[in-house]
Structure 1
Amino acid sequence: MKKDKQFYWTLFLSTFTLSAFTFGGGYVIVPLMQKRFVKELKWIDEEEMLDLVAIGQSAPGPIAVNTSIIIGYRMAGIPGALLATFGTVLPPLIIITIISYFYIAFRDNPLINALLFGMQAGVAAVIVDVVINMSSAIIKAKYVLPIVVMILAFIATAIFDVNIILILFICGLIGAYTTYRVNLLAKKEEK
């Protein structure tokens, strides 16, 4: 893939557009990133995108920014990471700056309050869609361990109210161990 002006412009414009027209946080932007970078641009394959999102989710900070940084770095190193970050952060910065000038009018406007309340349903639907798409990809791969971990993580949070930090830590350990085992087996097969 040629890394020219057009490539960098596409990377910036993609993250800028996704960030500008997404409302509801990182879990809403993830399927749109997947559509853009996997299906439309074909820069990343489906499995790698899931891995990048998982890394972005486990890192501290907003998932949309983290995932953009990782995708940008994956595509074009540090310049790509900086461009993708700038593209992701700039739209909310502009929008919040504009809103801050009109905060009093927005705060007391019943129409704006009703609009934001209605958007919550749409955000919930998009998050459910993300969960279904990501879990179906794991189930289709028929890897038993990720399926079991996914079910146990859901039970731990939904039923037993286990702290998400603990769940992420345990899942990270399981992922590190699994990767270590896979790499160890691959090295043995090479010999």
Structure 2
Amino acid sequence: MHKKNKYWQLFLSTFKLSACTFGGGFVIIPLMRERFVKELHWIEEEETLDLTAIAQSSPGSIAINASILMGYHVAGIPGALITVVGAALPPLIIISIISAFYQAFRSNKYVSMAMAGMLAGVAAVIFDVVINMAWPILKKKRWLPIAVMLAAFAATRFFSVNIILIILVCGVIGALDTMYLQKREGSK
């Protein structure tokens, strides 16, 4: 594929996904997976999970971070720049329009009802993301990633542990587990 065409397709893909995604960054992840993994075959399923984990643990919006990582993975630095513009432009346009008409939107009962309805859809999409990200881990039948996942959830939900601490601890555990697995594979 010609580079200009790939860049244009990267921009349009992230622009459309960002323009049609409501409910936060996690909602865009399954849509990116559908587009970049299943339709365009630019990224493997495992790589998508890795990029999502990096995007989630990096500071900033997960949608923007995921777009940057996907763009960089597909087309290097130009791809990252193109996808960040493509992902940031729709919310910028939409928020600019909404802010111009804020008073009318704020008091409109139909807008309030539509937002409440979208909340249920967003919850379903986030649940789908969790299942799709956890499924490959569960299929491997390894206890450590499952235990870390449950412990991280419990620490956040029930004990209000700082998310930065959880990310750091999970990163250390993941690094140690990877080193152990590589050492074990090397001895075989």
Q: Which position in structure 1 is the counterpart of 2:112?
A: 113
Separation in 2 of the partners of 1:73 and 1:4? 14
Matched, 1:64 2:63: yes
1:122 positional shift = 0.7
CA distance in 2, matches of 1:26, 1:96: 16
Counterpart of 1:44 in structure 2 is 43
Q: CA RMSD in A?
A: 1.7
Alignment of 1:147-186 (within 5 A): 147-183=146-182
Contact 1:72 1:83 in 2 (8 A): yes
CA contact (8 A) 1:19 1:89 kept: yes
8 Å contact kept, 1:3–1:76: no
Unpaired runs of 5+ residues, structure 2, are none
Give the share of equivalent positions with the same residue, in percent: 60
Superposition map of 1:55-94 within 5 A: 55-94=54-93
Matched residues in 2 for 1:122 and 1:150: separation? 24
Superposition deviation, residue 49 in structure 1: 0.5
TM superposition score normalised by structure 1: 0.91
- Matched pairs, number: 188
Is the contact made by 1:14 and 1:36 (CA closer than 8 Å) also made in structure 2? yes
In the alignment, what sits opposite 1:20? 19
Deviation at 1:185, TM superposition (A): 5.5
Q: CA deviation at 1:184?
A: 5.1
For the residues of structure 1 that align with 2:89 and 2:55, how far apart are their CA atoms?
19
Which runs of 5 or more structure 1 residues have no equivalent in the other structure? none
